[in-house]
Amino acid sequence: MINVLGCGKDGCVIDSFEWEDFSPKNGFVAKLFHKNVKLDKELHEMLHNIDPNGDRYSLYYFPTKQCSVKELVENDEFASFLELKYGIFSQFVFQRKLISLDPKKMTTSQYRYLRSSLEILHKNGACHGDLPGNVMIDPKDGMPRIIDWENAFYQKKGCFTYDILIDNTAFFTHFSVLHT
């Protein structure tokens, strides 16, 4: 049974199918993008270079062969349901399956790790631009990962000061340590 794990303005995340080396048993889900979403390949190359193991960022893994959503899910009925309910999808990627984070209940180490991840991103010329709600926990180590890169801004010569300010304001406004 294929499940929709979540949907947003850019697409849907689904599970329960196998494609190449990406499968639920290997800890992957698929993200289907609406036809108007353009992925910045240069940004994703930079993310893979600074974080090759996905220790800080939810990396997108691009399949070696593209296909239609119907071929991907191998179920015409489910593909039609997705299209009717969520719209037409034009491309897909894979990413590690993560779990929800309560941004107000982070441990001190999670908070510092996320802050450090944001600083590394900025140092490498990228700004996320849509941080609240786009941080999840990796169940393997319990640490936060920044997800959803469709609104990110990447420029080799660095981010603009106001883009960094947007990320930092979102971080300090929405994330905090749980004090018990």
CATH of domain 108-174: 1.10.510.10
> CA 108: distance to chain centroid?
23
In this structure, what is the dihedral angle of CA atoms 91, 11, 19, 3, given to the nearest 10 degrees?
Answer: -150
For 136, residues 6+ apart whose C-beta sits below 8 A from its C-beta are: 58, 98, 99, 100, 101, 144, 145, 147
For residues 117 and 151, give the distance between their C-alpha atoms in angstroms, rounded to a whole number: 17
Q: What is the dihedral of CA 50, 52, 56, 59, to 10 degrees?
A: 110
pLDDT per position in the chain (180 positions), as tens? Answer: 678 888 888 888 988 677 888 888 889 999 988 888 888 889 999 999 999 999 999 999 988 877 777 777 777 777 777 887 887 787 889 999 999 999 999 999 999 999 999 999 999 999 999 998 899 999 999 999 999 999 898 988 888 888 999 999 999 999 999 876
DSSP single-letter state for residue 41:
H
Strand partners, 141: none
At 56, list the tokens. Answer: 């800080």
Domain spans of the chain?
4-96, 108-174
Which pLDDT score, from 0 to 100, does residue 92 have?
A: 87
